[in-house]
């Protein structure tokens, strides 16, 4: 049975992992006969957002690992313990946490800084040519990990695509229910909620991403 490492970035679309994307991803991994282990960096979130109002919550501090444990039902490990040699593939769901907590793309664009453990783990999979899938805004992270004009997508947003290209990638426009595959890098990306208007649209692209990642030799 193949084993997939899944990196989460908190709990909630505006300040962490997009929950629908994470759950669909985990379900798709199991539906395709593979197992997963969730990881998250043990660091403070950039900020906390009230998901009812969409406004920041002043003075509140939350931990990315602790919040991610909500999605993983407690079965999660600090990202510092992730060893790429123990896994066959990597998947990183989206949500703004990927661009706020795993890196600073949401604030700094092409001048982003990247969490050290996140970059170490992601590059370990890339350097070992192990398949990886990044969804939604998470390909901004992949752009820095792979660079070298790696082909990827966040959908069709021109401004975000320009920022990703500035990190060294080659953005390709993609509909919500499709994926972009860079076979040389063994990287698969899909727009998910960068374009999805409902959970069914997100489901189609995310399941295709997981199926493709697990099928890459």
**Could you list the active site residues?**
136
> How far is residue 196's CA from residue 27's CA, in Å, rounded to a whole number?
18
DSSP string, 31-100: HTT-EEEEEE--SB-S--B-TTT--B-TT---BHHHHHHHHTTT-EEEGGG--GGG-SEEEE--STHHHH
Query: How many beta carbons lie within 10 A of that of residue 51, not counting itself?
Result: 14
Using DSSP bridges, classify how beta strands 170-171 and 151-152 pair: parallel, antiparallel or unpaired: parallel
Helix, strand, coil share (%) of the chain residues, nearest 5: 40, 20, 40
> How far is residue 61's CA from residue 158's CA, in Å, rounded to a whole number?
33
DSSP string, 152-172: E---S-HHHHHHHHHTT-EE-
CB 210 within 8 A of CB 29: yes
């Amino acid at each position: 049975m193949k084993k997939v490492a899944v990196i989460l970035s908190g709990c909630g679309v505006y300040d962490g992992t997009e929950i629908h994307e994470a759950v669909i991803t985990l379900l798709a991994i199991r539906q395709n006969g593979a197992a997963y282990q969730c990881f998250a960096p043990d660091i403070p979130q950039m900020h906390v957002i009230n998901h009812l109002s969409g406004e920041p919550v002043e003075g509140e501090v939350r931990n990315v690992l602790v919040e991610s444990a909500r999605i993983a039902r407690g079965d999660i490990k600090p990202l510092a313990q992730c060893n790429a040699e123990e896994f066959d593939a990597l998947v990183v769901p989206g949500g703004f946490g990927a661009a706020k907590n795993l890196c600073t793309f949401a604030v700094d664009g092409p001048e982003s800084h990247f969490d050290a453990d996140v970059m170490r783990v992601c590059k370990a999979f890339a350097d070992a040519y192990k398949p990886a899938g990044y969804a939604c805004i998470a390909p901004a992270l992949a752009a820095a990990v792979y660079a070298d004009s790696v082909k990827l997508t966040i959908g069709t947003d021109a401004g975000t695509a320009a920022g990703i290209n500035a990190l060294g990638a080659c953005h390709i426009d993609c509909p919500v229910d499709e994926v972009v595959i860079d076979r040389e890098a063994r990287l698969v990306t899909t727009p998910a909620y960068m374009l999805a208007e409902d959970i069914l649209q997100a489901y189609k692209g995310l399941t295709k991403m997981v199926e493709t990642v697990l099928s890459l030799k």
